Amino acid sequence: MSIKGIDLGDVQPPELRQLQAYFALTEAVALLNHQVEQQLRAQGEISAVQFELLMALVKTESLSMTQLADGVVYSRSGLTYQAGLLEKAGLVTRRSNPEDERATLLAITDKGRETVAKVLPGHIEVTRRLLYEAVSDEDLDRLRDIMTRVRDNIRTEPPRSAAPRKRRPGRTNP
């Protein structure tokens, strides 16, 4: 079987349907994420990742960097960089965890809460217009249920923070 000249070998119709669903999902998510990113930068001068971090912190007093990395599915180094940018902007504070000196806790500041309050209405409008207007209430319930099952299935895998750090070539252990 081939599609537009590409030999798909042994790919059978069920797998073709899965590929179609996968690519429709990834394209829709990419398009939606681009619009969300534009809105967040224009209204709050923050990125989508920073918005996710702030939203996670709004719900609780503070979270460890590991909890945040696992929650927003971001690398440790990327999270450290983003936390530094948020701290520099006055949107979060970082401090040592009194229960575990190796851990760093992140907490949202009043300015961070104000930023969330400022961008949230625009975020809701963008997602409503681009995502929710395209589906019925019944479809939305099904989509939520499906994506919750997919997320929960993926989260049965060990979190990224549990994976050993890759060593750079040429480095040796002390």
* pLDDT in the model for residue 79: 87
Digit-coded pLDDT (tens) for 50-64 = 999 999 999 887 898
H-assigned helices in 74-136? 76-88, 110-130
For residue 94, name the pLDDT band (cuts at 50, 70, 90). Answer: very high
Average pLDDT of the residues in 25-52: 96
For residue 11, name the pLDDT band (cuts at 50, 70, 90). Answer: low
Domains and CATH numbers, the chain: 15-157 (1.10.10.10)
Average pLDDT of the residues in 114-132: 97
For residue 17, name the pLDDT band (cuts at 50, 70, 90). Answer: confident
* pLDDT in the model for residue 28: 96
If residue 102 lies in a helix (H) or strand (E), which one and from where to where? strand 100-108
Q: 115: burial class by Cβ within 10 Å (0-12, 13-18, 19+)?
A: buried
CA 1 remoteness from chain centre: 36
Query: What are the distances in angstroms from CA 168 to CA 59, 70, 171?
Result: 37, 23, 6
CA 106 remoteness from chain centre: 17
What pTM, to 2 d.p., does this model score? 0.78
Q: State phi, psi for 43 to the nearest 5 degrees.
A: -95, -25
* pLDDT in the model for residue 49: 92
DSSP, collapsed to helix, strand or coil, labels residue 173 as coil
* pLDDT in the model for residue 98: 85
Q: Which has the minimum average pLDDT: 10-14, 17-21, 71-75, 148-152?
A: 10-14
Q: Is the pLDDT of residue 3 over 60?
A: no
For residue 124, name the pLDDT band (cuts at 50, 70, 90). Answer: very high
H-assigned helices in the chain? 13-44, 48-58, 65-72, 76-88, 110-130, 137-154
Mean pLDDT of the chain: 87
